[in-house]
Structure 1
Amino acid sequence: MYNFFANNVMLKYHFHKRKAVGKRLFFGLFTILVINVMSGCIPQKETVYLQDHAKDKKYNNPYNDLTSITERYILKPNDLLYIQVTTSNPKLSEFFNVSRSTSGGSQLNQSLYTYLIDDSMCIDFPFVGKVDLSNCTLEQAREKLEKILQPMVSDAHVKVRLANDTFVILGEVASPGRIDMGKEQITIFEAIALAGDIKTFGKRKEIKIIRPEGDGYKTFYVDITDKNIVGSDEYYIYPNDLIYVRPMKAKSFGIGETFSFGLISSVLAIYLTIRAITQ
């Protein structure tokens, strides 16, 4: 009778022990699942573009309203200009497009038509000499050259555009580096698209832009999750801009796109399993 009672007590003890082990295993696995889900998540408000931030009662639009966008870029020292003069007399045009006679009838070499703006904001134009382009846009530079050529060539048509229309983008983007714009000004979203978009851990709310301006640099930040940026001065990127996309704090803790939580989960699972069995 005593042995039967003792065996019954032991069976109940092992049953309750196994039940407790099962609970600990379930709790451990549930904890691992929660860690995996939470650690791999970045709040949607940090990654979605063009949100309506006006819902925040304390929100004020930090961006300056855009008055106009056409020809806003002001020429700067070290800019390269592509300049071509066309007249009704091809022979006369050759005097101003000096490289045309050396092309041998082949495709024109654009680099031979470029003119560097020096530190005094002047270019050295054939048969004209120094031309001051201080505070000029591309359109104003074109008009100025046509006016200078007017006494020599009454029907001169001048084409002027930037030959160095590039920007630099660094940080958490797919393809950092110097990128050709293809035109004098593009939007911040076009610039990001040309760089292959921002990586998962790129901070979209504080994109830093450093812009050459006059004798110095202008630095400002844009939030591309805010739809109010559209139509503002800060919406556009100009030649020689430097764009920096900083990483989120999560990446500084060793969390990155190539970081695997599977390893941590496996180690934690083994640890919890051993602990549950041995206790």
Structure 2
Amino acid sequence: MKSTKFLIYIALIVFVSSCIPNKDLVYLQNKKGTEQSIEVNQAFSKPYKVQVNDILSVNIKALDQKLVDIFNPSSSGQQNTSMMSQNGLYFNGFTVDDHGNIRVPVLGEVNVLGFTIDEIRQTIEKRLLDEYFKNEARIFVNVKLAGLRYTINGEIGNPGTNVLFQDSATIMEAIANSGDITMTGDRKKVQIIRKMPHGFETHYLDLTKAETMNSPFFYIQPNDYIYIKPLPQKSWGTGTTGMQTVGTIITALSLITTTILLSRNL
């Protein structure tokens, strides 16, 4: 009788500790009240400043397109179509070198390190007007980041390196684009390793709290590394849901009971 009570007690402890609670799975919870709105500080979504190894897409247009084709890396329609792919962006984009420069045809080296996309556009446009064209040429310069490239690993549906073709994106969009965090992933300690001008910085985000939207790391940057750590329940192997845990416990109790009965009959 005592052995039975002891086994039941152990089973209850395992059941309670092994199940993953719902509060550890829901994103951006409002702890102060589910109906209360959260004000997001937009200051953290400030324009990105270009760093070394970033890839830029620069396209120059004019009233007479033939006059500016020489400034573009490629003028053929087929090549421009290929630029929509990741490989095309790598081979036809402008990579920021170790000195913070990009090499534009005819213009030569243009320093872009620490500048925003709009500032780079203005710089290229000004040089074109000052050195080669007049205002009547109607020069139009379009500069963009060649996608937001990030690497995500750990407890995620589709780990690896992905690219989001947009000007800004949140970590929630990056996670959704990578197949979402698995049930055994720790949403409370999502690690972000970010390249900064002075080196690498590591930060942790609790994606179960709505206040996380006010973090400067909530918006991803090019070359971010995101790591999703596993919950302890994964290594325990008892199951992630209540039914899985019950099934595991029943199997274990049956094995223990059978072992006890066999030992008594010997």
What TM-score bracket applies, with the shorter chain setting the length?
A: 0.7 to 0.9
Aligned partners of 1:75 and 1:65: how far apart in 2? 22
Alignment counterpart, residue 156 of structure 1, candidates 132, 139, 152: 139
User: What does residue 121 of structure 1 align with?
Assistant: 100
Aligned partners of 1:115 and 1:130: how far apart in 2? 11
Residue ranges of structure 2 left out of the alignment (5+ in a row) = 34-39
1:172 matched to 2:155: yes
- Number of residue pairs aligned between Structure 1 and Structure 2: 244
Aligned partners of 1:210 and 1:252: how far apart in 2? 25
Aligned partners of 1:237 and 1:106: how far apart in 2? 31
Contact 1:28–1:269 (CA under 8 A) maintained in structure 2? no
1:129 maps to amino acid: G
User: What does residue 202 of structure 1 align with?
Assistant: 185
Aligned partners of 2:127 and 2:19: how far apart in 1? 62
Aligned to 2:56, the other structure's residue is in SS state strand
Contact 1:174–1:199 (CA under 8 A) maintained in structure 2? yes
User: What does residue 17 of structure 1 align with?
Assistant: none
Alignment counterpart, residue 266 of structure 1, candidates 251, 256, 266: 251
The C-alpha deviation readout for 1:144-176, integer Å capped at 9, x for no partner, is 111111122232111111225210001111111
Larger Rg: 1
Per the alignment, do residues 269 and 106 of structure 1 end up closer, same or farther by CA in structure 2, a change over 3 Å counting? closer
Contact 1:124–1:131 (CA under 8 A) maintained in structure 2? yes
Contact 2:20–2:240 (CA under 8 A) maintained in structure 1? no
Contact 1:52–1:226 (CA under 8 A) maintained in structure 2? yes
Contact 2:18–2:240 (CA under 8 A) maintained in structure 1? no
User: What does residue 95 of structure 1 align with?
Assistant: 70
Alignment of 1:16-27 (within 5 A): none
Aligned to 1:124, the other structure's residue is in SS state strand
Per the alignment, do residues 114 and 240 of structure 1 end up closer, same or farther by CA in structure 2, a change over 3 Å counting? same
1:46 matched to 2:24: yes
Alignment of 1:28-47 (within 5 A): 34=12, 37-38=15-16, 41-47=19-25
User: What does residue 36 of structure 2 align with?
Assistant: none
Per the alignment, do residues 36 and 252 of structure 1 end up closer, same or farther by CA in structure 2, a change over 3 Å counting? closer
Contact 1:50–1:224 (CA under 8 A) maintained in structure 2? yes
Instruction: Give me the TM-score of the superposition, normalised by structure 2.
Output: 0.79
Aligned partners of 2:259 and 2:111: how far apart in 1? 80
Contact 2:7–2:253 (CA under 8 A) maintained in structure 1? no
Contact 1:204–1:223 (CA under 8 A) maintained in structure 2? yes
1:146 matched to 2:131: no
Aligned partners of 1:251 and 1:181: how far apart in 2? 30
Aligned partners of 2:44 and 2:11: how far apart in 1? 53
User: What does residue 83 of structure 1 align with?
Assistant: 58
| RMSD of Structure 2 on Structure 1 (CA) | 3.1
Name the % identity.
34
Aligned partners of 1:165 and 1:148: how far apart in 2? 27
Aligned partners of 2:215 and 2:14: how far apart in 1? 40
Aligned to 2:230, the other structure's residue is in SS state coil
Q: More displaced, 228-237 or 137-146? A: 228-237
Per the alignment, do residues 107 and 121 of structure 1 end up closer, same or farther by CA in structure 2, a change over 3 Å counting? closer
1:217, distance to aligned residue in structure 2 (A): 1.1
Residue ranges of structure 1 left out of the alignment (5+ in a row) = 1-19, 56-63
Aligned to 2:19, the other structure's residue is in SS state coil
Contact 2:18–2:233 (CA under 8 A) maintained in structure 1? no
